[in-house]
Structure 1
Amino acid sequence: MQKIESHACCGGTQEVWSHRSHTLDCDMKFGLFLPPQAQDGPVPALYWLSGLTCTEQNFVTKAGVQRYAAEHGIVIVAPDTSPRGDDVADADGYDLGKGAGFYVNATQSPWSAHYRMYDYVVDELPALVEAHFPITSARAISGHSMGGHGALVAALRNPGRYRSVSAFSPIVAPSQVPWGEKAFSAYLGDDRGAWKQYDATSLVKSTTEKLPLLVDQGEADEFLATQLKPQLLVDACAAAGHPLDLRMRPGYDHSYYFIASFVGEHIAHHARALRA
């Protein structure tokens, strides 16, 4: 690994690291905020998954999360959103290819050569950071939009791996909206049955762990009616008896202004679970 950025922040350190990912077969970057408590010993971590077009930079530079992470003694791990490099497949448009990994393990050519973001964020990255930094195995996961989808899927598919999960403006039912249909068709093929393993509204039907889902959604979000459709998750959770706290926020859109407004509540939510 190589440290490529380091900044004093909120009594701790905001860093960016690069490393060779065996899972993705390319070089990757991730943001890492170490709170002041990490100087005295290992502390728990929140893994943050960003949305379409983002890199490891967006959350750590725009959300203002460090002050809350420092208050509660939580490491923030923020990976990139897709594999990177000249030999990594890409596509025209912002919603497929680089910057749009959708946190799935692609099975279709040419994407399957590198696009295994599910395994990367669930397995490889936690193993890496827990081995090299003062981080415990107590984990939480969160994300925004495409990353909110990824966070929900990771938590629902891995009972016991995460103490808590939350999401901002998540794509709750990618199998039923244009963003997800485009990405899943390319990465996973035309068999919609294979899509269900990456769809939160399908996963809540069979998960063996009733981990409460915390979701914040802006009512002025420009993608609310076409791409996000939180009511689909409400209905699925109600049918399955799965706990869901959906907070609809009047006036807020899809931007990081929305995330910055409520990220403190999410960090407090995760802190309670991580200390339990």
Structure 2
Amino acid sequence: MQRIKNWACFGGQQQVWKHSSSTLGCSMEVAVYLPPQASETAKLPVLYYLSGLTCTWENMVSKAGAQRYAAEHGLILVSPDTSPRGVNLAGEDESYDFGSGAGFYIDATERPWAKHYRMYSYVTEELPALLAEHFPGADTARSGIFGHSMGGHGALVCAFRNPQRYKSVSAFAPIVAPSQVPWGEKAFSGYLGADRNSWAAWDATALASGTGWRKPVLIDQGMADEFLEKQLKPQLLANAAAAAGIPLTLRLQAGYDHSYYFIASFIGEHIAHHAQQLRR
């Protein structure tokens, strides 16, 4: 890993690292915030943030104001990119909701996407291994995960599929049932093929009935979100979680939209939610 950016921030260091990903077959960038408590001897929990469609690590780093709260709670904050970059697949840059910037945090099975579009394995396997190797203070055994929109979908899927790996999860305006909305149907058709039965493994609402996840889930959803009715449908997951016995809190926030103004307004509460679980 090569450090390419570094800024002092709330007593800690906001860094950006570049590395060659064996999982994705390309060069990737990942942002890592080291709070002031970080040292080689102090083991700190790790909190992963997954961004939404069209985003990179930079959206979270520059817009959410999360570093202030990560510093307060002593958490290492890790923000990866949203898809492979520079793999030069035909069609990957033709639309905002498929291909570049739209990896959907799944492992593609359809050609040509299956070779590179494996963001789930990158987030859950390769990235934790890199952190453990290069950041002695990162306690990857105490990890939480959260995200926004497509990244909220990714965070929920990662947690529900790995209840022993992650100790906390939350989401802002997540795509909770991608199998049932246009964004997800387009992405899953391209990455996973036409067999909808295979999609359930990557759908948080479908996973709810079989997951072993029983830790608190926090979801914030803006009621003025332009994507609420067509793409997000949070009540589908709320109903599935209730039936499965998953303790989910869905907070419907009047007047808030899908933007980072919404995320910045509640990011402190989300990080506090994770800190409480990760300190146990």
Which interval holds the TM-score relative to the shorter structure?
Answer: over 0.9
Distance apart, 1:153 and its partner CA: 0.2
Corresponding position of 1:69: 70
For 1:69, the aligned partner's letter is A
Corresponding position of 1:24: 24
For 1:36, the aligned partner's letter is P
Q: Following the alignment from structure 2 to structure 1, what is the Cα–Cα distance between the partners of residues 102 and 111?
A: 16
Moved over 3 A (4+): none
- TM-score between both structures, scaled by the size of structure 2: 0.97
- Judge conservation of contact 1:88–1:114 (CA < 8 Å) in 2: no
Q: CA offsets per residue over residues 55-102 of structure 1, 9 Å max, x none?
A: 111101100000000000000000000000153451411000000000
The aligned length equals 276
Q: CA offsets per residue over residues 241-270 of structure 1, 9 Å max, x none?
A: 211100100000000000000000001000
Corresponding position of 1:232: 236
Corresponding position of 1:58: 59
Distance apart, 1:236 and its partner CA: 0.8
Match of 2:225 among 221, 225, 228: 221
Q: CA offsets per residue over residues 124-178 of structure 1, 9 Å max, x none?
A: 0011112211200210000000000000000000021111000000000000000
Corresponding position of 1:15: 15
Corresponding position of 1:36: 36
Match of 1:210 among 199, 207, 214: 214
Q: Following the alignment from structure 1 to structure 2, what is the Cα–Cα distance between the partners of residues 27 and 83?
A: 8
Distance apart, 1:46 and its partner CA: 0.3
Q: Following the alignment from structure 1 to structure 2, what is the Cα–Cα distance between the partners of residues 267 and 212?
A: 13
- Judge conservation of contact 2:145–2:170 (CA < 8 Å) in 1: yes
- Judge conservation of contact 2:83–2:119 (CA < 8 Å) in 1: yes
Q: Following the alignment from structure 1 to structure 2, what is the Cα–Cα distance between the partners of residues 37 and 105?
A: 35
DSSP-derived class of the 1:221 partner:
coil
**Could you list the runs of 5+ residues in structure 2 that have no partner in the other structure?**
none
Distance apart, 1:234 and its partner CA: 1.3
- TM-score between both structures, scaled by the size of structure 1: 0.98
Corresponding position of 1:120: 122
Q: Following the alignment from structure 1 to structure 2, what is the Cα–Cα distance between the partners of residues 211 and 158?
A: 12
Corresponding position of 1:100: 102
Corresponding position of 1:188: 192
Equivalent residues in 2 for 1:84-95 (5 A)? 84-89=85-90, 90-95=92-97
Q: Following the alignment from structure 2 to structure 1, what is the Cα–Cα distance between the partners of residues 215 and 182?
A: 28
Give yes or no for the alignment of 1:135 onto 2:138: yes
